[in-house]
Structures are given as C-alpha cells and as structure tokens.
C-alpha cells in the first residue's frame, strides 16, 4: 500500500468538500480576447445588447491596471492562462424538471449537503446550483412564480427577462467600476437572478450554491437581486471547490437593489478551498458586492462568514440613497495557516437620516493575515446620518496578524459617526477555565472563538448558523499546538 491515501485523508479531514466530480465538460482553451467573448455570448444565446455590454467592459478592462493598494500578497495572475468557460457537457440549459439534470451533478450537490430534489431540500430554502460556469438546476421556481417571484439563473434571466436585466444590470456596480468587476462584466458566465414584486414577502430563503470543479478555470458569476417596493427577501450563498495545488480565480459581482420600503438580507457562508497548511493552492476570492438602498426607508444587510479561500478580498457595501434607509454589515473572517483576508465594507450615506451599522470580527490563526478595511462616507445632503462601527480582532498563536484600516469622510455637520476597535489575544484564563471543565485545548479555542463571533452568527438563518459554527471549528484545526 502506498502512503497517498493517508495523506489525502489527513487533508480531507480539514476540508471536507475537496473532492472532484469526474464529469466530461466543455472547456474552452485558455486565454481572453474579443473572440472568446463573442463565442461565450453566442453560446448563451444572448441578445445583442449583452454582447455590446460585455465588449465595452472588455475594452475598458484592457486599459485598466490590477489594483495593488490592498494588504494581500500574491504572485502576478496570468489572465491569458485562465480558461473562461467550463460547463458539464450534460448541462441542459433548457432543463425544467430535475429528471433532465445529469445524476452525476445531482450526486455532487447531495454530497455537499445540498440535495436538489425538492422533497429533500431544507424546508423553506430554494436553491440555484451553479457548477463551474453554468447553473445546472434551480429548485422551487414554480412555487415562487405563483407569487410573481422570479428566481432563476442569470443566463435564463437575460434570455427571458431582458427588460429587467437591461434596466438594473450594472446599475450598482458599473462595468468599469474596478479591474475585477470589469473583467467579470466581460466574461461572466452565469449566476443567480432574483426579482421580488411589490409588496411580496418571499416565503422561502433563496440561495445559490457555487461549485468550482474544473481545473485551470476561473469562475466569474454575477448575481442580481431586485426587491421592488415594500418587498422582502432573504438570500444565502454557499460555495466550495476541490483541493488543488494551483490557485484558481473567483471574481464575482453581486448587485442588490432595494426600492422604497424594501428589505434585502444577504448572507454568505464562504468555504472555498483555502489551500493547504503550507499555503499551496486555494481560491483567490476577489469579489465586488454592493447594494443600493435606492428607495426611501429601504434596508440592506450583509452577513458574511468567511472561512475559506487562500485570499479573500472584498467589501460588501451599501449605498444609502433613499431617505431613512439603513445598511448593515456583519462579518466574521477567519484566516488560518497562510490564508489572507482584506475585507470590510463601504457605507455611503447620501440620503437624509440614513443609518449604518458595521460589526466585524477577525480571527487570525497560524500565519493568517487578517485586515478589516472600511469606509464610512457621509455626503453633504445626508443630514442626520448615523453610523456605528465595531471592529474586533482576535489573535491565536504568535505568527498571525490583524490590521484595522477605518476610513471616515464626513461632509455634513449633523452626522454622528462612531468607531470602536479592539485587538486581543485569546485569553489564557478563559482557555484554562474551559480545560479545567474537561474541554481539550482545541475544543476550548473553538468554543471561545464561537463566542467571539456570536453576534454575527446569530444574524444568519438558523440552519446556516449551525453550519457556520461547524465550519469555524473545522477551520481552526491545527491552529493550536
């Protein structure tokens, strides 16, 4: 017997979703030019306006340089070495029933704990399953459609709900917003689309599960959520990828639009492959997420639990345009081994009496690098704006680092902005107390870290907060000597 299975199983202990689905796929050659974009747009049977939109973004991107202001470090990315499209050959863009979906794909999601059979799904959760570059199934569409809720893959939305897409796509994150957003606009292959009509409270949690499977590909998905006047929706995203010793790029864009009186809650449990203990492999998670409270008294909240990825680089933000609108950002970012995170939020107060709350919990173990970066900007018209920010960092061990970069710009005298920050090491007295009660060192650390994150975890829908707790425990493995 060789020793390979032993090594694999030792690695799999910490990353349970690292398997590969052996499935024939259509994958294009590496590289990016206009032809690739034309091919992609044609493959997806897109209307002309989309191709023009993509090409404009591509030309813009060509003139941009990759940003270097963040605190994360990685070798240069060769954008011509990436494959911009890979889809299971069996993926059926016209699949309406689950029986039309390849059983191998269904089995993959089942193994990830996301059964797509509607009889088996978590009660009250509808799922859009994205596999590499395409959506392979969306559950509960029929039931939602009865209420006028549109929930489908982005590709389907472009084909069937062109007017809505045309009106809102890029209206919060314009194609030229930043380097990665421009790249995404040019090459995005799928993602989820959701529209809640006026006055409707979405009866289920909507969710997307992103799975990267193919090697050497990038995943560029785009999510667009529109909550029309006085509607409500709660949305979740989860993700995972196989264990590979090469880095893979995931550059997504998420746009949220809340019209008057609408409420959007967006939760992320991010579990991309983080790389191994020496920092080999793992996903570069470079994502632009932004919501706009476009109408008065609208509300957007971001809750994220970031435990995966070699590098996490993103700032889910809220533009508070409507009067009396409010935004929240709740975040847990855990970096272990050689993981890096530079994450936080931007709260842009434009309307009067706008409110924002920021609660960030960073945990740095091993050689992890963890930075909170946030901007609170109050424009001249935002009379009576208020913000409260709290950023706490917890260090485990001697080699990790924690940084806080808060930026505050206030142009209105009536605004109130508060910022609190703490950095602490894990408390030896707490550890000893737990061990004296019979918990191992590892169990004690996990319990204390869970407590540290409690306020954020309690924002997640029930089933997902259980999942997030488990994930935190697993991600801390090997962090204590």
Partner 1 sequence: MNILELRNLHVTVMNKPILNGVDLSLKAGELHALMGPNGSGKSTLANVLAGRPECRVTAGQMLYRERDLWPISPEERAREGIFLGFQNPVEIPGVSNLRLLKEAYNAQRRHHRQPELDAVAFRAHLRDRTAQLGLPEEWLLRPVNAGFSGGEKKRNELLQLMLLEPRLAILDEIDSGLDIDALTLVAEGINALRSTERSMLLITHYPRLLDQVPPDRVHVLMGGRVMLSGGMELARKLEQQGYGWLEEMVT
Binding residues for partner 1, rule: CB under 8 A, are 427-430, 432-441, 443, 447-448, 450-455
- In 189-280, which ranges are E strands? 192-196, 205-211, 222-227, 232-240, 247-250, 253-258, 263-270
CB nearer partner 1, residue 114 or residue 472: 472
For residue 2, the minimal CB distance to partner 1 (Å) is 34
For residue 161, the minimal CB distance to partner 1 (Å) is 43
CB nearer partner 1, residue 183 or residue 457: 457
For residue 304, the minimal CB distance to partner 1 (Å) is 18
Q: What are phi and psi of 313, to 5 degrees?
A: -140, 95
Using an 8 Å Cβ cutoff, are 132 and 214 in contact?
A: yes
CB nearer partner 1, residue 160 or residue 424: 424
For residue 459, the minimal CB distance to partner 1 (Å) is 13
For residue 233, the minimal CB distance to partner 1 (Å) is 28
Checking DSSP bridges between strand 25-27 and strand 340-349, what pairing results, if any? unpaired
CB nearer partner 1, residue 49 or residue 432: 432
How many angstroms from the chain centroid is the CA of residue 452?
Answer: 22
Sign of CA dihedral 19, 25, 30, 36: negative
Checking DSSP bridges between strand 25-27 and strand 86-88, what pairing results, if any? antiparallel
Q: What are phi and psi of 139, to 5 degrees?
A: -95, 160
Distance CA 212, CA 250 (A): 9
**Hey, which residues does 152 pair with through a beta bridge?**
193
For residue 438, the minimal CB distance to partner 1 (Å) is 4
Distance CA 205, CA 233 (A): 7
> For the chain, first and last CA: distance in Å?
30
CB nearer partner 1, residue 45 or residue 440: 440
Using an 8 Å Cβ cutoff, are 239 and 271 in contact?
A: yes
CB nearer partner 1, residue 38 or residue 441: 441
CB nearer partner 1, residue 146 or residue 429: 429
For residue 430, the minimal CB distance to partner 1 (Å) is 5
For residue 428, the minimal CB distance to partner 1 (Å) is 8
For residue 458, the minimal CB distance to partner 1 (Å) is 9
> Maximum distance among all alpha carbons in the chain?
73
Contacts 24+ apart (CB under 8 A), 120-123: 122/463
Using an 8 Å Cβ cutoff, are 361 and 332 in contact?
A: yes
Dig out the tokens for 267 from the structure.
């939760």
CB nearer partner 1, residue 140 or residue 361: 361
CB nearer partner 1, residue 75 or residue 438: 438
């Amino acid at each position: 017997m060789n020793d390979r299975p032993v090594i694999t199983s030792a690695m799999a202990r910490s990353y349970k979703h690292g398997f590969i689905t052996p499935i024939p796929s259509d994958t294009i050659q590496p590289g990016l030019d206009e032809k690739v974009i034309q091919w992609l747009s044609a493959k997806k049977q897109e209307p002309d306006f989309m191709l023009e939109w993509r090409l404009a973004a591509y030309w813009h991107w060509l003139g941009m340089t990759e940003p270097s202001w963040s605190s994360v470090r990685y070798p240069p990315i060769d954008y011509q070495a990436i494959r911009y499209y890979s889809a299971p050959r069996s993926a059926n863009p016209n699949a309406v029933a689950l029986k039309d979906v390849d059983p191998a794909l269904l089995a993959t999601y089942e193994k990830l704990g996301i059964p797509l059979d509607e009889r088996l799904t978590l009660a009250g959760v509808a799922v859009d399953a994205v596999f590499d570059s395409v959506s392979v199934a969306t559950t509960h569409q029929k039931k939602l459609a009865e209420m006028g809720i549109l929930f489908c893959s982005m590709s389907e939305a472009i084909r069937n709900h062109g007017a809505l897409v045309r009106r809102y796509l890029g209206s919060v994150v314009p194609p030229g917003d930043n380097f990665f957003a421009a790249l995404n606009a040019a090459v995005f292959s799928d993602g989820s689309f959701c529209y809640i009509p006026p006055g409707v409270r979405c009866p289920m949690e909507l969710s997307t599960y992103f799975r990267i499977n193919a090697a050497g590909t990038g995943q560029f998905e785009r999510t667009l959520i529109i909550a029309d006047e006085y509607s409500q929706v709660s949305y979740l995203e989860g993700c995972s990828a196989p264990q590979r010793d090469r880095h893979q790029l995931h550059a997504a864009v998420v746009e949220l639009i809340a019209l008057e009186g609408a409420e959007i809650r967006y939760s992320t449990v991010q579990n991309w492959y983080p790389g191994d203990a020496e920092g080999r492999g793992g996903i570069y998670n470079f994502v632009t997420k932004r919501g706009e409270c476009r109408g008065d008294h609208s509300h957007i909240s971001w809750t994220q639990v970031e435990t995966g990825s070699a590098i996490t680089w993103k700032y889910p933000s809220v533009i508070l345009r409507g009067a009396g609108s409010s935004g929240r950002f709740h975040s847990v970012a855990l970096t272990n081994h050689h993981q890096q995170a530079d994450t936080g939020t931007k709260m842009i107060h434009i309307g009067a009496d706008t409110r924002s709350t920021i609660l960030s919990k960073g945990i740095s173990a091993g050689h992890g690098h963890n930075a909170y970066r946030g901007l609170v900007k109050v424009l001249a018209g935002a009379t009576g704006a208020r913000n409260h920010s709290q950023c706490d960092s917890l260090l485990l061990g001697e080699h990790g680092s924690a940084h806080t970069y808060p930026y505050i710009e206030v142009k209105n005298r009536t605004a109130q902005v508060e910022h609190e920050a703490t950095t602490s090491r894990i408390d030896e007295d707490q550890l000893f107390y737990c061990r004296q009660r019979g918990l191992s060192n590892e169990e004690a650390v996990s319990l204390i870290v869970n407590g540290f994150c409690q306020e954020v975890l309690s924002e997640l829908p029930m089933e997902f907060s259980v999942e997030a707790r488990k994930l935190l425990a697993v991600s801390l493995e090997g962090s204590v000597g």
